């Protein structure tokens, strides 16, 4: 296959594979991919390992260019890529290491409801959610913001919308970074980006974004599950979305603005999609300021959808969301770059950690965790596919030691959207999902076909690699029963 990877992959142990820095000129560190033997065979079918090697050429990169087991080809960085750069050593920030959908992420809401409560009304519940939570290409939101309010929202993040009655204080406590990255600069977000985001805060969007009603099928870690309020048979809601058109435009603007910047700083890149700037340069600071603003927008987006989901449940079940126990378990970003402290060669350094299709996974005792999770570790939310399962994990000490506090973000695609549509010809994905006990609604004509279960790797394999490697530990398996998509 012309798209296959033919370079070296040296097995280190049962869950790690090395691309040696000797593989190609310019590599400053080794590449390191987390996978088992079966996953590696699938991973080699596209050029994503080549992208891992290319990222290893970035100035200031520390330790490794990393990839999680849900790795697949992306723009610049692979999806599932993690790289930390040291600004003190000329480390760079690369928009390709964040992605177009800035702060695409996942949040999980638990409830007091059981599947026995929901099953007789499942179709009505999915229909109510479909009507209440805007989804689909170009679909505008119920809550509108003018440009001045948008800038304030991008500066303050989740607390801005919670103050407006669109959430609970506990939501902020259980959101990564409390739903706000400091030093966001909304003034650096273009007018075009503001226009695109003006009516999209509180909307699901399309593609692989979803809102899913799930049942806790199995608990593997009773202590961590109890801290999260998860019990077998309990109903949960998972929301996956990002910064919509605003974040996409911020990325597009940055790629244009940075086009000639590597040459200015004498940076030689193996792939133009890795366009970058030193973190401490004016150009690097400008991208970071705008990216942080888009990230805060994304947290507000998911927060408003949480409010709308609570409304839908309250309307259908005739009880306030508080009585239904619809508390946020956690919200994690998986397309972001953040400054975080790590020990490198015996000294503590503030590193720029790129996570592109990867989730933060801080271990027990980490000072950034809410008190309720301090003894069990940070919840890590890993969506699977519409027909099988998703997982809740918790971060482990191995993540801080080996992966810059990072874990996987999902099952990972194994088919392009076009290939998935072709593979669904003559089939009814809606009927196939019903046969698996999943009621699905989609706004777009090909939404279910593009995101069919066969388009994804088996999330069980992906999660098992990181569980065995001591990066993140399994807590609970969540089975989908209802899905809405764009």
Farthest-apart Cα atoms in the chain, separation = 64
Residue 433's pLDDT is: 84
Average pLDDT rounded to a whole number, residues 179-201: 96
Reported as a single tens digit per residue, the pLDDT across 221-267 is: 999 999 999 999 999 999 999 999 999 999 999 999 999 999 999 99
Q: What is the DSSP string of 371-428?
A: GGGTTT--EEEE---TTS-EEEEEE-HHHHHHSSSEEE-SS-BSS-HHHHHHHTTT--
Token code pair at residue 387: 């027909």
Taking Cα atoms as reference points, which of 225, 142, 193 lies closest to residue 473? 225
Residue 445's pLDDT is: 67
Domains, the chain: 10-485 (3.90.1860.10)
Residue 1's pLDDT is: 43
Reported as a single tens digit per residue, the pLDDT across 316-352 is: 999 999 999 999 999 999 999 999 999 998 999 999 9
Q: Is residue 409 annotated as part of the catalytic site, yes or no?
A: yes
Tell me which of 15, 72, 409, 467 is the catalytic residue: 409
Reported as a single tens digit per residue, the pLDDT across 258-306 is: 999 999 999 999 999 999 999 999 999 999 999 999 999 999 999 999 9
């Amino acid at each position: 296959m012309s798209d296959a990877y033919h370079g070296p992959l040296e097995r280190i142990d049962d869950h790690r594979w090395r691309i040696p820095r000797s593989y190609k000129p310019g590599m400053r560190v080794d590449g390191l991919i987390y996978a088992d033997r079966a996953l590696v065979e699938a991973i080699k079918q596209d050029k994503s390992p080549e992208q891992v090697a290319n990222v290893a050429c970035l100035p200031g990169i520390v330790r490794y260019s990393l990839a999680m087991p849900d790795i697949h080809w992306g723009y610049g960085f692979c999806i599932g890529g993690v790289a930390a750069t040291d600004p003190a050593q000329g480390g760079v920030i690369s928009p390709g290491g964040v992605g177009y959908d800035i702060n695409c992420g996942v949040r999980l809401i638990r409830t007091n409801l059981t599947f026995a409560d929901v099953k007789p009304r499942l179709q009505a519940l999915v229909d109510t959610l479909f009507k209440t939570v805007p989804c689909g290409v170009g679909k505008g939101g119920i809550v509108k913001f003018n440009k001045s309010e948008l800038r304030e929202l991008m500066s303050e993040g989740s607390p801005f919308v919670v103050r407006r009655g669109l959430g609970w204080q506990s939501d902020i406590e259980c959101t990564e970074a409390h739903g706000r990255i400091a030093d966001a600069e909304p003034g650096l977000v273009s007018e075009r980006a503001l226009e695109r985001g003006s009516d999209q805060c509180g909307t699901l969007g399309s593609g692989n974004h979803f809102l899913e009603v799930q049942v806790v099928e199995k608990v593997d870690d009773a202590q961590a599950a109890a801290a999260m309020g998860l019990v077998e048979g309990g109903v949960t809601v998972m929301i996956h979305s990002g910064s919509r058109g605003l974040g996409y435009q911020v990325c597009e603007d940055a790629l244009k603005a940075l086009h000639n910047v590597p040459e200015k700083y004498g940076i030689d890149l193996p792939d133009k999609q890795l366009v970058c700037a030193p973190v401490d340069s004016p150009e690097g600071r400008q991208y970071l300021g705008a990216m942080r603003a888009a990230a805060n927008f994304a947290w507000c987006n998911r927060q408003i959808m949480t409010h709308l989901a609570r409304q839908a449940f309250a309307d259908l079940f005739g009880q306030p969301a508080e009585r239904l126990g619809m508390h946020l378990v956690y919200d994690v970003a998986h397309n972001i770059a953040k400054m975080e402290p790590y020990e490198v060669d015996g000294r503590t350094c503030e590193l720029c950690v790129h996570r592109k299709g990867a989730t933060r996974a801080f271990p027990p005792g980490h000072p950034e965790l809410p008190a309720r999770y301090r003894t069990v570790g940070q919840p890590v939310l890993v969506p699977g596919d519409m027909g099988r399962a998703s997982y809740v994990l918790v971060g482990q000490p191995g993540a801080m030691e080996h992966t810059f506090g990072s874990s996987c973000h999902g099952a990972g695609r194994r088919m392009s959207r076009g290939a998935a549509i072709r593979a669904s010809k003559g089939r009814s994905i809606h009927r196939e999902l019903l046969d698996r006990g999943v009621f699905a609604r989609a706004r777009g004509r090909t939404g279910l076909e593009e995101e069919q279960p066969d388009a994804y790797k088996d999330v069980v394999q992906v999660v098992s690699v990181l569980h065995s490697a001591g990066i993140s530990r399994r807590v609970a398996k969540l089975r989908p029963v209802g899905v809405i998509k764009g």
